[in-house]
Amino acid sequence: MADRLELGALAARIPDGATLAIPADYAGVAMAATRALLRRRPRGLKLVTVPTSGLQADLLIGAGAVAEIETSGVTLNEHGLAPRFSAAAKAGTIRIVDATCPAIHAGLQASEKGVPFMPLRGLLGTDLMRQRLDWRTARNPFGGAGDDIVLLPAIRPDIALFHAASADRNGNVWIGRRRELGVMAHASAATLVTIEEFADADFMADEATAAGALPALYVTAVARAPRGAWPLRFIDRYPADDAELARYAEMARSNEGFAAYLRDALAAAA
């Protein structure tokens, strides 16, 4: 059964240097946990975005918490470029491991299945094959001559971190249609989840809810954090706070502005 923790205790489960899998902005981002994590000034994190990120990665990078990021994109979407990611990329202060969305999903699926690699088509002939020396080309053993395929190494994060709607009395977590969260949990050594609320139910006892639940077997710890994805949107529960995201995008253009935003955000989260 998953541990039930306070938000700060859950964030404390993420050590310096951990490889941390985080979801895209539309999939349930644990922003409250991210602010709690930043209050203790983490260092040396390796982010794996599944498959992209935005505000969450930008905050962590701007705060100096990230040494490396494997991603297919970091952006604030309609609010423009992610300013702290862009600045770090230009300055060379973090290592950026370029990927594609299918490649990241495939690497996690390899770990999920307990195999060392996953084959994937669609990468042959791209510039990425010259940059990603850990991606190998092999002949399809079931095909003819010239039928090559790319082999991608398994991605095994130390921790998957995301926000979900609810957890039941047994620690099963409702993820609904966001099945990539399940893959993240299966692939990772530990899974930390913030939720909107606890449910006095057993999701696995009902076919209608079992299909959308992540079994407690894959959940290490859960913390209640109402509106825990804010200022990002969270499924059908609340929209993005566009005014707040625009404020961040403006302030984070400069080191001074970012420092002021982060100081205020962490003070509000205390």
**Residue 253 domain flag:** yes
Q: Which pLDDT band holds residue 261 (cuts at 50, 70, 90)?
A: very high
Residues 90 and 221 in one domain: yes
Range of the domain at 32: 3-100+156-269
Largest Cα separation within the chain, whole Å, is: 62
Residues 146 and 163 in one domain: no
Number of domains in the chain: 2
Residues 122 and 236 in one domain: no
Compute CA distances 172 → 49, 65, 68, 236, whole Å: 24, 30, 31, 20
Residues 132 and 153 sit within 8 Å (Cβ to Cβ): no
Residue keyed to tokens 């594609």: 100
C-alpha torsion sign, points 151, 100, 213, 163: positive
User: Residue 83 in 3-state DSSP?
Assistant: helix
Summarize the confidence of residues 60-79 as an average pLDDT: 97
Cα separation, 263 vs 202, in Å, equals 40
Confidence check: pLDDT of 270 > 80 = no
95-98 and 148-153: which strand pairing? unpaired
Supply the pTM of this predicted model: 0.96
The tens digit of pLDDT for each residue in 80-134 reads 999 999 999 999 999 999 999 999 999 999 999 999 999 999 899 999 999 999 9
The tens digit of pLDDT for each residue in 9-52 reads 999 999 999 999 999 999 999 999 999 999 999 999 999 999 99
Residues 124 and 240 in one domain: no
The tens digit of pLDDT for each residue in 208-249 reads 999 999 999 999 999 999 999 999 999 989 999 999 999 999
Report the CATH number at residue 174. Answer: 3.40.1080.10
Residues 69 and 126 in one domain: no
Residues 26 and 131 in one domain: no
